[in-house]
Amino acid sequence: EKCQLTRTRSSNTRCKKRQVAASSNKNQKRHVAALILARGGSKGIPLKNIKPLAGVPLMGWVLRAAVDSEVFDRYVANIKKVAEAWGAQVHQRSSEVSRDSTSSLETIQEFLEYHNEVDIVCNIQATSPCLHPFDVREALKKITEDGYDSVFSVVRRHQFRWKEVDELSDEKTEAINLDPANRPRRQDWPGELCENGSFYFTTKDLIKTGQLQGGKSIYYEMLPEFSVDIDGDIDWPVAEQRVLRYGYPGKVVRLLFCNVSACLAEGINALSSNTRNTSAIHMLQEKQVEVILLTSSDDAVAQSLAAKLQKRTGCQVMEVGKKPLNDLQEVMKNKSLDWKHVAFMGFDQADEKLLKLAGLSAVPGDAPELASKAAKYICPLSRGSGAVWDFAEHILLQKPMAKPQNNKSC
């Protein structure tokens, strides 16, 4: 009895120590980094991670979700072209961890060697474009509030599995996760939890031991509609439809700045006379998106037609100089708006900063490379061919989604 009592007290002491440690970690601010390990090349799909999916680079979908989750101290990606457009830092892998055989663990360990201040790493897969901020926030709480060492995403699958056999042998296949004599109905079977590869949260201490999953570990269950994994060409058309319906659209756009002098091949005349262009503006206004049309101080034609344009569209027409950002900062201040709620459509080098700063930005399909790299959305249409209309439709697709109520973790 004395021995049993000693073991009980020892167990209670260890439990209390874990509770104290968890409480201490909860109150202590920990540096959390989002790391998107993506390469420019892909054997399955050329340049897959930067290939536009529904107009947005594949990596851009998860970067947007990570940024808007507002739980990370830094966002890091490997591909400069996309990373900078979404406000992420660039981590250049060394040659030692750039081989095809290099594991994610090796790359993350190298990253931590350069960033010792990081306490928690979230390895986000670029090939999971339906990731949402609420999933990221809830999963991280398992470490920061509940004291877990690693959290990874899973999805519930209802698929019966069978043992693989050599077709040339006499061996018979066997059921792995069901009894064929008592085959359950789908609604009577809870299914199985499978990794969906969307994200992996791990503490630095666990990574140092050579593990991404381990220690006090837990899973975070995501809904099937948000578990999209792209690994082949055949998935791309299907993924575009899924991401338009279930992907995270970003913050709700409340204001659009459109540089009409640059975005229309025919100049400002095109917007003042083309029915389709003005319809795009009216379409946004009907959905409570304010539109301000920007004209260049170098565009003499624009100045002469500004009044006509304002009357036809019902929009404020604003003249900006060679550094439009300076002119628009005052507008933003007066309207008490954050840039994440603003869309911007530009075209040339002068628009680069605004294209990067706006929560949603676009350029026509024939925009110069510098502007295209800075934009978050590249219209498939060129100037004069409906680019403004296309971007307006894209903005209206960005509908806020309610948080699902049945996400689970265990």
Residue 13 has pLDDT above 70, yes or no: no
Question: What is the DSSP track for 268-296?
Answer: HHHHHH-HHHHHHHHHHHHTT-EEEEEEE
Catalytic residue among 9, 157, 161, 183: 183
pLDDT for residue 133:
93
Judge whether 183 counts as a catalytic residue: yes
Query: Tens of pLDDT along 120-142?
Result: 999 999 999 999 999 999 999 99
Domains and their CATH numbers in the chain: 32-158+189-246 (3.90.550.10), 255-398 (3.40.50.1000)
The band of 212, judged by pLDDT with boundaries at 50, 70 and 90, is: very high
Question: What is the DSSP track for 248-264?
Answer: ---SPP-EEEEEHHHH-
Residue 99 has pLDDT above 80, yes or no: no
Strand partners, 342: 255
pLDDT for residue 201:
98
Three-class SS state of 368: coil
**What is the CA angle 203-108-194, rounded to 5?**
70
Query: Tens of pLDDT along 365-382?
Result: 889 988 988 898 888 888
Would you say the pTM of this structure is higher than 0.85? no
Query: Tens of pLDDT along 22-66?
Result: 555 555 789 999 999 876 555 666 678 888 888 888 999 999 899
Query: Tens of pLDDT along 332-359?
Result: 989 888 888 899 999 888 889 999 889 8
